[in-house]
């Protein structure tokens, strides 16, 4: 058995294992690479070569850049903007996602756009009441169409442009790809809008972060924050100085005294202690009654809970909220707290306390095991709670901040880094992987993200999967397996219609591109396509643009492009979920390519 035949058999077994879906896709990919090694189709260097490929490093760097955009609040801002534009209508949501995906893919490549837009797309889908599985494959397909808008949209475009220069002495213009890219984007959106709901699966992903889009409204209702709580600051001129805090508020004022707290965030005043300059009275009541009482006694009013709840400012750039539970054996057990007090240890404001799922009311209590509290304060103090072994934090403060706080303090830095990276990618001054690494390093150096966040941001299953499949592409190419498939097909159309050649080349390129990288597919098909074009006497330019378009039509499998793989886990997709909608998209791309390419680049 020849090496070419053996490589194709291993490819076929790998595809069957992917479709079978009983083993993790990463395990299947690694097993296929090992099979190639043990059958002698690749050497040891070839087995591990994928880990050193520039595309792997580029994708990893883009994950870090995407993390920076999310951590800085740019992703939340883009999601809120997209949500306002898209509303909740399915077609409008899909249109907004498609346009944004295509523009970003044209600027920072298909893989960068997919990595950056997954969290935005998920947020928009949740707002519209749609499953992420209904929008993430459309995101990947729109990115594929958008990669055909500019020269920098995909490495395939660069390969085809170089081949055109070698063959004719003249390449394609930077925006010339858009002649075919714009119709492809339009028809892709049309197919998604008409058929996506029926052909896309309803899947629930287990890898998505918790949804905090309605968190604040839920908190306000659950903890009863509409009931006003006030902190009345005692000044030196106040008539309350020297008074007993338990007697300072008469019962006929409409104001209820909850507790008194010492100045500068000290603990609650104990029995027998008198109010002093700087102390705080914590009270509840109607705003009018509290204001009248405060004016009568020269007190400064701070409307803590009600102001934030009604004004929607529970969470902003500087401060946020957290729900915490007192666990068994916690040092917090026995501590005296009340709604409206500020904890002296960390400066967090206690907004509400619940015991056995009931509000304890406006009074001071000693904490017991199982009590829950809602606290408000600086993000630094909120984040520190997750590292405090004495309490259990309900939900992630980091995810809450990322989903609700738009354009944080690091947003200008992250925005400048993104623009600079796009400029480098578009200009071609440096290789794409260098531009991506510069962007990732800049995100860490400027403290948009920490080094730990950068490591966590990289989707290692995606990186390992793509790296493990690169040896397959190499083996099929080097063993002659690709030529074994391609040559008889090209011979079939020799001396026949140029349009037939376009159709066959499209099918050959697109089908190969579903299982090996589209860049490798392009490199395999280009010499065959140019030879066939010379045989039947047609210009190389339309043939090369056809190959480029077909290589971008990698929409039938998750392993066809890194963008398809990036959306797989967040969408909860299986291997066989792509082909149903993807086959319709591919047929439409074939029709568009065969009809329009000869119009712009005559045969």
For 249-294, the three-class secondary structure string (H helix, E strand, C coil) is CCHHHCEEEEEEECCCCCCECCCCCCCCCCCEEEEEECHHHHHHHH
- pLDDT value of residue 310: 40
> CA distances (Å), 508 to each of 81, 277, 438, in order?
41, 84, 37
For residue 407, tell me if it sits in a domain: no
226: number of Cβ within 10 Å: 11
Same domain as 178, residue 125: yes
- pLDDT value of residue 191: 95
Domain closes at, from 413, 433, 466: 466
For residue 415, tell me if it sits in a domain: no
For residue 524, tell me if it sits in a domain: yes
- pLDDT value of residue 308: 44
Same domain as 524, residue 462: no
Same domain as 349, residue 302: no
Cα–Cα dist 370/459, whole Å: 36
Token pair 């990186």: residue = 463
Buried b (16+ CB within 10 A) or exposed e, 144-165: bbbbbbbbbbbbbbbbbbebbe
- pLDDT value of residue 309: 41
The total of structural domains in the chain comes to 4
Instruction: Specify the pTM.
Output: 0.69
For residue 3, tell me if it sits in a domain: no
- pLDDT value of residue 211: 65
Nearest to 124 by CA among 197, 75, 171: 75
- pLDDT value of residue 484: 78
Same domain as 303, residue 317: no
Same domain as 182, residue 167: yes
For residue 16, tell me if it sits in a domain: no
Same domain as 386, residue 325: yes
Q: Residues 247, 253, 258, 259: what is their CA dihedral angle, to the nearest 10 degrees? A: -40
- Element containing residue 392 per DSSP (H, E): strand 392-394
Cα–Cα dist 350/124, whole Å: 32
Same domain as 439, residue 352: no
Same domain as 439, residue 340: no
Same domain as 573, residue 432: no
In sequence order, the β-bridge partners of residue 375 are: 322, 350
- pLDDT value of residue 306: 46
- pLDDT value of residue 495: 66
For residue 592, tell me if it sits in a domain: yes
Residues of the domain holding 278 = 217-310
Q: Residue 343 sits in a domain of what CATH number?
A: 3.30.70.1450
Same domain as 445, residue 536: no
As given in the structure block, the two tokens for residue 592 are 């568009």
For residue 9, tell me if it sits in a domain: no
Q: In what order do the strands lie in the sheet with 299-303?
A: 255-261, 280-285, 229-234, 299-303
Domain closes at, from 436, 466, 496: 466
For residue 58, tell me if it sits in a domain: yes
- Which parts of the chain have pLDDT scores under 70? 19, 21, 152, 206-214, 216-217, 220, 224-228, 264-266, 271, 303-314, 485-486, 489-490, 494-495, 517, 520
Same domain as 438, residue 397: no
Same domain as 181, residue 86: yes
């Amino acid at each position: 058995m020849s090496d070419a035949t053996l490589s194709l058999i291993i490819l076929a077994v790998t595809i069957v294992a992917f479709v079978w879906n009983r083993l993790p896709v990463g395990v299947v990919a690694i097993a296929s690479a090992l099979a190639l090694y043990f059958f002698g189709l690749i050497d040891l260097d070839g087995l591990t070569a994928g880990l050193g490929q520039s595309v792997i490093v580029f994708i990893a760097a883009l994950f870090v850049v995407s993390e920076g955009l999310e951590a800085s609040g740019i992703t939340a801002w883009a999601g809120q903007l997209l949500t306002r534009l898209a509303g909740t209508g399915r077609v409008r949501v899909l249109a907004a996602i498609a346009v944004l995906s295509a523009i970003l893919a044209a600027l920072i490549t298909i893989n960068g756009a997919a990595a950056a837009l997954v969290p935005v797309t998920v947020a928009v889908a949740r707002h519209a009441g749609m499953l992420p599985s209904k929008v993430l494959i459309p995101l990947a397909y729109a990115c594929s169409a958008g990669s055909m808008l500019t020269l920098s949209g995909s490495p395939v475009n660069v390969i085809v442009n170089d081949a055109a220069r070698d063959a004719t002495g003249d390449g394609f213009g930077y925006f010339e790809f858009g002649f075919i890219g714009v119709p492809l984007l339009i028809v892709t959106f049309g197919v998604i809008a008409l058929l996506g709901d029926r052909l896309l699966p309803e899947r629930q992903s287990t890898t998505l972060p918790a949804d905090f889009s309605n968190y604040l409204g839920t908190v306000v209702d659950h903890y009863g924050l509409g009931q006003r709580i006030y902190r009345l600051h005692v000044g030196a001129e106040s008539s309350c100085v020297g008074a007993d805090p338990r007697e300072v508020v008469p019962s006929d004022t409409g104001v209820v005294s909850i507790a008194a707290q010492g100045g500068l965030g000290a603990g609650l005043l104990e029995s027998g202690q008198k109010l002093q300059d700087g102390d705080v009275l914590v009270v509840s009541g109607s705003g009018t009654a509290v204001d009248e009482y405060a004016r009568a006694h020269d007190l400064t009013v701070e409307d803590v809970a009600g102001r934030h709840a009604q004004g929607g400012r529970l969470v902003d750039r500087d401060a946020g909220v957290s729900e915490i539970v007192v666990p068994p054996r916690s040092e917090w057990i026995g501590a005296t707290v009340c709604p409206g007090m500020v904890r002296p240890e960390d400066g967090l404001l206690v907004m509400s306390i619940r015991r056995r799922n009931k509000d304890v009311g406006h009074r001071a209590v000693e904490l017991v095991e199982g009590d829950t509290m809602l606290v408000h304060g600086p993000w630094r103090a909120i984040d520190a709670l997750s590292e405090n072994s004495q309490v259990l934090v309900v939900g992630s403060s980091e995810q809450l901040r990322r989903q609700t706080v738009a354009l944080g303090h690091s947003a200008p830095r992250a925005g400048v880094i993104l623009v600079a990276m796009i400029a480098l990618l578009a200009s071609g001054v440096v290789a794409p992987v260098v531009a991506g690494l510069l962007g990732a390093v800049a995100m860490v150096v400027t403290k948009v993200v920490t080094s730990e966040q950068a490591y966590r941001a990289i989707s290692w299953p995606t990186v390992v999967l793509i790296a493990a499949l690169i040896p397959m592409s190499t083996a099929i190419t080097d063993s002659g397996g690709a030529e074994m498939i391609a040559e008889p097909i090209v011979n079939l159309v020799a001396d026949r219609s140029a349009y037939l050649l376009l159709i066959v080349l499209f099918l050959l390129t697109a089908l190969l591109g579903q299982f090996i990288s589209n860049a490798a597919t392009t490199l395999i098909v280009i010499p065959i396509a140019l030879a066939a074009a010379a045989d039947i006497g047609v210009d190389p330019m339309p043939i090369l643009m056809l190959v480029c378009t077909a290589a971008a039509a990698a929409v039938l499998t998750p392993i066809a492009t890194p963008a398809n793989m990036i959306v797989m886990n967040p969408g909860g997709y299986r291997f066989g979920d792509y082909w149903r909608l993807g086959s319709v998209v591919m047929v439409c791309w074939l029709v568009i390519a065969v009809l329009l390419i000869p119009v712009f680049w005559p045969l």
